[in-house]
Structure 1
Amino acid sequence: MEASNDVLSASLQQLMDEHVSLRTDMDHFYEITEDIEIETGPAVVELFAKLYEKVSSFNHKLKAHSKREEEGLFPMMTRHLGEHDRTIEVMEFEHEKAEQHLQDFLTEADMKGHSLDEDDVQWITVYAVQAHATLTQHFAKEEKVLFPLAEKILSVEEKVELERMFRD
């Protein structure tokens, strides 16, 4: 997957750079899900504890990133795109879907607590895998379509305002 050749303003580049960091974290937790799939016995529960830690940390970072998009970028773009354009609606839906997968993972793991067994680990891990798949596609869409579109339609003043919002 190649990135767009467009040069992005500082605020949009920040969101793009956050994707790089988030994708690295996502790939780390995905590797653990693959290990869980092939492991058996007590090792599975130990791997799951690592996965839980990674997903929990990732979820926190993702929420901060999503907030910048949902409270800054998306409303600005919506003003330019018009009421019949569904671009932002789709992006927000994908945010909700990914966040729900992560929340389901964390909630189910918390509910099982120390009574977690191998079967629990296998089905709860599916939520992390689903979050990874959703976000992989979502990031690609934002990078290929949304960020370049924002670069074209937002004014210099709006981009500066976004930068200021991201700093605060």
Structure 2
Amino acid sequence: MEASNIILGAPLQQLKDEHVSLREEMNRFYEITEEIEFESGPVVIQEFMRLYERIQDFNSKLKAHSKKEDDWLFPMMTSHLGENDKTIEVMEFEHEKAEQHLREFLTEAEQAGPFINIDEAQAISVYAVQAYAILIQHFDREEKVLFPLAEKILSAGEKEELERRYRG
């Protein structure tokens, strides 16, 4: 049986379901980055402003999602996995890298301000593309490996605790 066929309990399914809307938003902002890369003239700046708003909104949603994993799921799983298991370490590293790219995008966009030029807009947009690339793979890895593993190793009590935490 393939790991991705495991039926997830409510708290893990909730995390997986959150990926759906996050992916949709990521796909929309990725499309904007392509417009910025391949267009020219004033439309690039208009698209960049749209991208900035999307990334701001997406970043806050991603942080809320990641917090659930970082604060509750990952520590619970770490207590079950051996010292040599790097699964959680990899997941945390991917969170940090994606968040760093989004932060760099937002910081540089704010520093450039309303008088940003086309070259700057295109260069800064690369951070959004990098975050997208990391997160697409990260979500896939969580859904195929991490969530099924969590379903298998966490106790019923731990899953109930996650469910309580995620509702709050």
TM-score range, shorter chain: over 0.9
1:167 is matched with which residue? Answer: 167
TM superposition shift of 1:3: 8.4
Residue 146 (1) aligns with residue 146 (2): yes
SS in 2 for 1:4: helix
Structure 1 unaligned residues grouped into runs of 5+: none
Q: Identity over the aligned pairs, expressed in percent?
A: 67
In 1, Cα distance between the equivalents of 2:75 and 2:146? 13
| TM-score using structure 2 length | 0.97
2:75 is matched with which residue? Answer: 75
| TM-score using structure 1 length | 0.97
2:93 is matched with which residue? Answer: 93
In 1, Cα distance between the equivalents of 2:19 and 2:32? 20
Deviations 1:88-110 (A, max 9, x none): 00100000000000000000000
Residue 125 of structure 2 aligns with an amino acid whose one-letter code is T
2:27 is matched with which residue? Answer: 27
**What RMSD over aligned residues (CA atoms) do the two structures have, in Å?**
1.1
2:137 is matched with which residue? Answer: 137
1:120 is matched with which residue? Answer: 120
In 1, Cα distance between the equivalents of 2:113 and 2:3? 41
Structure 1 residues 135 and 5: alpha-carbon distance in aligned structure 2, compared to 1, 3 A threshold: same
Residue 44 of structure 1 aligns with an amino acid whose one-letter code is V
**Matched residue count:** 167
1:5 is matched with which residue? Answer: 5
In 1, Cα distance between the equivalents of 2:50 and 2:23? 18
Deviations 1:69-105 (A, max 9, x none): 0001000000000211111001000000000000000
Deviations 1:29-78 (A, max 9, x none): 00000111111111100000000011110000000000000001000000
SS in 1 for 2:4: coil
Moved beyond 6 Å, runs of 4+: none
Residue 134 of structure 1 aligns with an amino acid whose one-letter code is I
Residue 155 of structure 1 aligns with an amino acid whose one-letter code is S
In 1, Cα distance between the equivalents of 2:66 and 2:109? 23
1:107 is matched with which residue? Answer: 107
Higher deviation after alignment, 32-41 or 122-131: 32-41
Equivalent pair of 2:3/2:148 in contact (CA under 8 Å): no
In 1, Cα distance between the equivalents of 2:18 and 2:127? 22
Structure 2 unaligned residues grouped into runs of 5+: none
2:37 is matched with which residue? Answer: 37
Residue 90 of structure 1 aligns with an amino acid whose one-letter code is V
In 2, Cα distance between the equivalents of 1:3 and 1:101? 30
TM superposition shift of 1:115: 2.0
